[in-house]
């Protein structure tokens, strides 16, 4: 989470956060980090009256990015190691286990035992008690994180699609009455992906079963933001 004297930025995991963090720190002198991946409920009282910016991503794309980012790390997080059986499973097998956590108490409990009981400064930064709420939520991991990060905001966040980052951030700032300098426009126009993993288009990886499972469990995000499962090109 970053607070400025004009707005607060909420950083949803694997949703253009690294790029937006750099942008804010570079062009907003009052920017101050409050915590790593903290949800809206932790916005300081002094900033609760200010607008909120966040980002949202196509859930099908999120899961591919998350899988390959963790798979390619030397030290993957506890959640990934559990659902991938220490990287032994392929993407669809891993996703089958990940998406089962909403009704698989035994597997979720194995993961919870390895999670911190408090906020830390890395990864998704979701404590054990919060992650336990995934059970019975009827949500996929991305929709669960989306709800956890944004739903307790004092006002509705202005959510920018990562697929439309340049235009979306310009519109968000304009909506809040914040003028964009030429340097800011240049930065946004030349934006590249940051903190990325190496993989192809998400549509190349999904089985029909897992594609449909995401469609069902992440329908909250998919429907609200008009996402579709699309092919490359």
Burial of 53 (0-12, 13-18, 19+ CB in 10 A): buried
Mean pLDDT of 140-165: 93
pLDDT of residue 17: 85
pLDDT in tens, 95-117: 999 999 999 999 999 999 999 99
Is the pLDDT score of 233 beyond 80?
Answer: no
pLDDT of residue 18: 86
pLDDT of residue 179: 93
Mean pLDDT of 183-208: 82
Mean pLDDT of 6-22: 92
Domain ranges in the chain?
Answer: 68-141+199-217
- Percentage of the chain lying above the pLDDT 90 cut: 83
Is the pLDDT score of 155 beyond 70?
Answer: yes
- Percentage of the chain lying above the pLDDT 70 cut: 97
């Amino acid at each position: 989470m970053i607070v400025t004297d004009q707005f607060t930025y909420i950083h949803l995991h694997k949703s253009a956060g690294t790029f937006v963090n750099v942008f804010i720190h570079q062009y907003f002198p009052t920017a101050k980090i409050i915590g790593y991946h903290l949800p809206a409920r932790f916005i300081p009282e002094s900033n609760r009256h200010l607008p909120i910016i966040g980002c949202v991503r196509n859930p099908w794309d999120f899961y591919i990015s998350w899988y390959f980012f963790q798979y390619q790390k030397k030290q993957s997080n506890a959640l990934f190691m559990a659902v991938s059986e220490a990287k032994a499973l392929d993407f669809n097998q891993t996703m089958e286990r990940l998406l089962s956590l909403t009704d698989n108490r035994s597997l979720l409990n194995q993961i919870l035992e390895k999670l911190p009981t408090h906020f830390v400064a890395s990864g998704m930064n979701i404590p054990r008690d919060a992650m336990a709420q995934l059970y019975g939520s009827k949500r996929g991991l991305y929709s669960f994180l989306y709800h956890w990060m944004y739903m307790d905001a004092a006002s509705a966040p202005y959510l920018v699609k990562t697929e439309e980052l340049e235009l979306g951030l310009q519109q968000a700032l304009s909506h809040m009455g914040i003028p964009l300098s030429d340097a800011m426009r240049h930065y946004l126009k030349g934006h590249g992906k940051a903190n990325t993993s190496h993989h192809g288009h998400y549509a190349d990886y999904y089985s029909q079963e897992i594609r449909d499972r995401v469609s069902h469990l992440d329908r909250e995000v998919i429907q609200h933001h008009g996402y579709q499962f699309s092919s490359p090109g």
